[in-house]
Amino acid sequence: MLCGLPLCKKDNGRAQPGCYVKAAGEKVEKLSSALYEFIKANVPEEDILPEEPMCRHTTFRVGGNAQCLVRISSIRQLEKLIPHLKVVGIPYFILGNGSNLLVGDKGYKGVILQVASKMSTVTVEGDRMRAGAGLPMIQAARCALEKGLTGLEFASGIPGTLGGGVVMNAGAYGGEMSQVVEEVTVLSDEGEILTLDNAFMEFGYRTSIIKNRPFVVIETVLKLLPGDKKEILKKMEELAGKRREKQPLEYASAGSTFKRPEGYFAGKLIMDAGLRGYSVGGAMVSEKHCGFVINTGNATAADIAQVIWDVQKQVKDKFGVTLEKEVIFLGDF
293-295 sheet: strands from edge to edge: 252-253, 293-295, 283-285, 279-280
pLDDT for residue 29: 80
Lowest mean pLDDT segment, chosen from 2-6, 66-70, 195-199: 2-6
pLDDT class of 10 with cuts at 50, 70, 90: very low
Whether residue 15 has pLDDT greater than 80: no
- Mean pLDDT, the chain, as a whole number? 92
What is the DSSP secondary-structure string of 190-244? TS-EEEEEGGGG--BTTB-GGGGSSEEEEEEEEE-EE--HHHHHHHHHHHHHHHH
Where on the phi/psi map is residue 26: left (φ > 0), alpha (ψ -120 to 50), or beta?
Answer: beta
Cβ-Cβ contacts under 8 Å for 290 (sequence gap 6 or more):
266, 267, 268, 270, 271, 275, 276
Give the separation between CA 103 and CA 53, rounded to whole angstroms. Answer: 10
pLDDT class of 3 with cuts at 50, 70, 90: very low
pLDDT for residue 14: 36
73-127 tens-digit pLDDT: 999 999 999 999 999 999 999 999 999 999 999 999 999 999 999 999 999 999 9
Whether residue 5 has pLDDT greater than 60: no
Give the separation between CA 149 and CA 144, rounded to whole angstroms. Answer: 5
pLDDT class of 26 with cuts at 50, 70, 90: low
Whether residue 20 has pLDDT greater than 70: no
CB 88 within 8 A of CB 131: no
- pTM for the structure as a whole: 0.90
Report, as an integer, the average pLDDT of 41-70. Answer: 98
pLDDT class of 168 with cuts at 50, 70, 90: very high
Residues marked active site are found at 206, 256, 326
pLDDT class of 28 with cuts at 50, 70, 90: confident
Q: Is the dihedral of CA 299, 302, 305, 310 positive or negative?
A: negative
pLDDT for residue 18: 38
pLDDT for residue 11: 36
215-273 tens-digit pLDDT: 999 999 999 999 999 999 999 999 999 999 999 999 999 999 999 999 999 999 999 99
Phi, psi of 109, deg, nearest 5: -85, 85
pLDDT above 90 coverage of the chain, percent: 90
pLDDT for residue 7: 34
Report, as an integer, the average pLDDT of 52-72. Answer: 98
